């Protein structure tokens, strides 16, 4: 939270806006990295909680992008609103009684409209003094390291824009940097802007707040060093100079205070003042790296890049106890690097960078000192290798030692705890995310060699692990990445293609019963299946089908059901990921081509049969023609 007495003008402006039901219902708290947006948001949330107006609060974190998705955002928001507001709860309960599967939909747009827009629109009996305020912190961190390239983030932009169509009494606070896609969103969306400025444009109150923060922190240091530092150390002039050097950036001040506390405070403060470490965060971070690693060896730099690359590029944070074996790093190397980076990184439990600006700096080739730069592609190559090595060494037949092949997973007592005791955190991570790293790695002979072992020796063991962890539904998308990667680099992808077909055919049975990977899926595979030929010889005692064996995989891949009358027209999206259909039931539907799930709710509006449908070249819109003599254009995502 903000230190008491700081950021009062910003907080007052935001609180005044929350009370103005005629003002736009979205407030954008915008600012340069490090100016304190999240701190202001946290303080605001506590103030709203104290007066009974906190609707919900959600914090996006780049390092947890796989868990903190738009779907998670709206599920959490609906839960909080329903828990705190009876009128909203009534509408949510009625919705869930009518469709109890809505919470399981992968479609965030449907969740937003059904769990947020509809219940709020119908809730007109909430007292003015209790109207909910929803807060989304760090919108720019949605999508993780992929940033603006993330489909999650692109979809969320539209949903945030959709909030503006709600009645103005329902307020949404969004904090973010001013990145181009977010600027574009708010250029066409009614909103109230509060901007925290930095550098030469920083407002006087920012300097006053920073001075107050510095004075408080230096008081803590003098108390800790009461026998060697005077109580007024380092003096008002030094605090003013540091405030000027900060240029309105609270993160700059926070980092130098942590840096000063990390060693001899007098010597470290003198170093900062002598080097004149103003000029932005890049100068500060470069100086900290050069001080912390004065003459690094090639081995030290390699360890730095491996550890920091993992912290930045991992799809979900891992505790140090799992990260060490995944990276095959010495614990002494890990401890040394963590100790040297205390001012910018938290090493309690999971490694976590204090601020996204340090991640940006490390991945900026022009700004980061040579040797410390984290090459994204090389980092993903390294993580792909570590994941494949972990799976090839850790996956094995009947990994959990299940005693019976006759019962379903759901009937195994304490299967969750058994799984946790036999599948380590690093093996679990590798099984879930190897393909995500492979997708961003260039061709490497070592990767190909480990993939060959995985495909020909460990594939069924991997499916075992996924079944234990309830992740079989993810296998198909991972294998598609494998097929694409092999094909892109001119490698034989026949085995990978057959693995994909194997999963598509038997995912349901494998998710219900681990033994049936071997007892039914393998022997019931077609005679021409590469997976069957490769693995049946390893399990000669499984069942043998004497008559009626399938020769090849069926040509039909998916059957989509949902229309209530004749389907007149279908089309694939340009990227092949979606299918649009038009029917005599007067609806247009968009389907996920991989899963068969509806991507959106059916589009309704035509008064007669829909006879023709097509995607726009960019895949963002759908056009339909009908016997009602109208042509309609639909947003393909909402």
Residue 349: left (phi > 0), alpha (psi -120 to 50), or beta?
A: left
Which architecture, in CATH terms, is 8-196? 3-Layer(aba) Sandwich (3.40)
Environment class of residue 421 by beta-carbon count within 10 Å: exposed (0-12), middle (13-18) or buried (19+)?
exposed
Alpha carbon separation from 130 to 86, 133, 343 (Å, rounded): 12, 9, 41
Q: Is a pLDDT exceeding 90 seen at residue 307? A: yes
Q: What is the pLDDT of residue 6?
A: 64
* Residue 110 in this model has a pLDDT that exceeds 80: yes
The pLDDT of residue 201 is: 52
Better-predicted residue by pLDDT, 549 or 253: 253
pLDDT in the model for residue 290:
87
Q: Chain-wide mean pLDDT for the chain?
A: 91
pLDDT tens per residue across span 151-177 = 899 999 999 999 999 999 999 999 999
For 252, the token pair is 């700059």
Where are the domains positioned within the chain?
Answer: 8-196, 204-279, 298-374, 378-538, 567-635
Q: Under CATH, which number does the domain 567-635 receive?
A: 2.40.10
- Tell me, what's the pLDDT at 85? 95
Q: What is the band of 86 on the pLDDT scale with cuts at 50, 70, 90? A: very high
Of 318-327, 401-410, 441-450, the poorest mean pLDDT is in 401-410
| Amino acid 176: pLDDT | 95
Angle at CA 106, nearest 5°, toward 101 and 110? 75
Question: Edge-to-edge, what's the strand order for the sheet holding 54-59?
Answer: 54-59, 133-137, 171-176, 26-31, 192-196
Q: What is the pLDDT of residue 101?
A: 78
User: Which alpha helices (DSSP H) does 6-124 contain, by range?
Assistant: 8-18, 37-50, 70-84, 86-98, 108-111, 118-122
Instruction: Tell me the pLDDT tens digit for each residue of 593-617.
Output: 766 778 888 999 999 999 999 999 8
pLDDT in tens, 529-541: 999 999 999 988 8
What Rg value do the Cα atoms of the chain yield, rounded? 28
What is the model's pLDDT at position 2? 62
Domain 298-374 fold is: Arc Repressor Mutant, subunit A (1.10.10)
Residues 400-424 have a mean pLDDT of: 91
Q: Is the pLDDT of residue 69 over 90?
A: yes
219-254, pLDDT tens digit by residue? 999 999 999 999 889 999 999 999 888 877 788 888
User: pLDDT tens digits for 326-340?
Assistant: 999 999 999 999 989
Q: pLDDT tens for residues 343-352?
A: 888 888 788 8
Measured distance CA(76)–CA(346) in Å, rounded: 27
Q: What's the predicted TM-score (pTM) here? A: 0.74
Q: Provide the pLDDT for residue 466.
A: 96
What is the average pLDDT across 93-113?
86
Angle formed at CA 417 by CA 509 and CA 68, multiple of 5 degrees: 80
């Amino acid at each position: 939270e903000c230190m008491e007495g700081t950021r009062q003008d910003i907080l007052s402006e935001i609180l005044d806006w929350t009370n103005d039901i005629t003002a736009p219902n979205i407030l954008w708290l915008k600012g340069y990295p490090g100016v304190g947006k999240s701190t202001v948001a946290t303080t605001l949330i506590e103030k709203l909680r104290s007066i009974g107006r906190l609707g919900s609060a959600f914090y996006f974190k780049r390092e947890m992008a796989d868990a903190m998705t738009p779907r998670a955002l709206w599920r959490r928001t609906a839960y909080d609103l329903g828990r705190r507001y009876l009128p909203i709860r009534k509408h949510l309960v009625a919705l869930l009684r009518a469709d109890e599967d809505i919470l399981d939909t992968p479609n965030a747009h449907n969740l937003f409209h059904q769990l947020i827009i509809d219940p709020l629109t119908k809730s007109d009996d909430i007292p003015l003094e209790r109207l909910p305020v929803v807060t989304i912190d760090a919108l720019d961190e949605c999508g993780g390291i992929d940033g603006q390239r993330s489909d999650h983030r692109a979809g969320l932009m539209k949903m945030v824009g959709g909030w503006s169509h709600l009645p103005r009494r329902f307020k949404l606070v969004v904090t973010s940097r001013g990145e181009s896609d977010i600027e574009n969103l708010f250029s066409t969306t009614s909103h109230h802007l509060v901007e925290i400025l930095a550098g030469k444009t920083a407002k006087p109150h920012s300097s006053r707040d920073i001075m107050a923060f510095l004075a408080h922190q230096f008081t803590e240091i003098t108390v800790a060093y009461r026998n060697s530092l005077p109580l007024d150390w380092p003096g008002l002039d030094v605090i003013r100079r540091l405030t000027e050097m900060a240029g309105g950036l609270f993160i700059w001040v926070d980092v130098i205070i942590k840096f000063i506390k990390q060693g001899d405070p007098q010597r470290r403060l003198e170093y900062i003042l002598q080097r004149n470490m103003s000029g932005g965060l890049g100068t500060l971070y470069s100086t900290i790296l050069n001080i912390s690693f004065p003459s690094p060896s090639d081995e030290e730099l390699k360890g730095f890049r491996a550890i920091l690359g993992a912290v930045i590029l991992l799809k979900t944070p891992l505790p140090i106890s799992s990260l060490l074996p995944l990276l095959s790093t010495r614990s002494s190397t890990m401890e040394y690097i963590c100790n040297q980076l205390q001012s910018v990184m938290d090493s309690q439990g999971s490694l976590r960078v204090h601020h996204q600006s340090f991640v940006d700096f490390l991945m900026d080739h022009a700004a980061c000192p040579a040797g410390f730069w984290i090459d994204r592609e090389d980092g993903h190559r390294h993580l792909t290798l570590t994941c494949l090595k972990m799976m090839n060494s850790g996956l094995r037949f009947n990994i959990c030692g299940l005693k019976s092949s006759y019962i379903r997973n759901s009937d195994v007592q304490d299967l969750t705890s058994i799984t946790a005791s036999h599948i380590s955190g690093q093996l679990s991570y590798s099984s879930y995310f190897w393909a995500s790293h492979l997708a961003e790695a260039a061709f490497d002979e070592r990767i190909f060699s480990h993939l060959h072992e995985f495909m020909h020796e460990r594939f069924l063991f991997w499916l075992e692990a996924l079944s234990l962890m309830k992740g079989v539904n993810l296998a198909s998308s991972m294998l598609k990445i494998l097929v694409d990667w092999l094909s892109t680099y001119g490698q034989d992808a026949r085995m990978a293609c057959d693995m994909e077909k194997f999963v598509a055919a038997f995912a349901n049975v494998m998710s219900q019963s681990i033994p049936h990977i071997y007892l039914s899926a393998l022997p019931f595979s077609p005679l021409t299946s590469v997976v069957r030929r490769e693995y049946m010889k390893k399990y000669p005692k499984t069942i043998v089908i004497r008559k009626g064996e399938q020769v090849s995989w069926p040509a039909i891949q998916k059957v989509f059901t949902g229309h209530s009358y004749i389907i007149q027209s279908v089309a694939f999206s340009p990227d092949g990921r979606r299918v649009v259909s038009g029917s005599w039931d007067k609806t247009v539907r968009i389907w996920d081509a991989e899963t068969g799930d509806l991507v959106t709710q059916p589009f309704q509006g035509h008064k007669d049969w829909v006879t023709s449908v097509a995607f726009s070249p960019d895949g963002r819109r759908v056009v339909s023609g009908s016997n009602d003599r109208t042509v309609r254009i639909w947003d393909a995502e909402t």
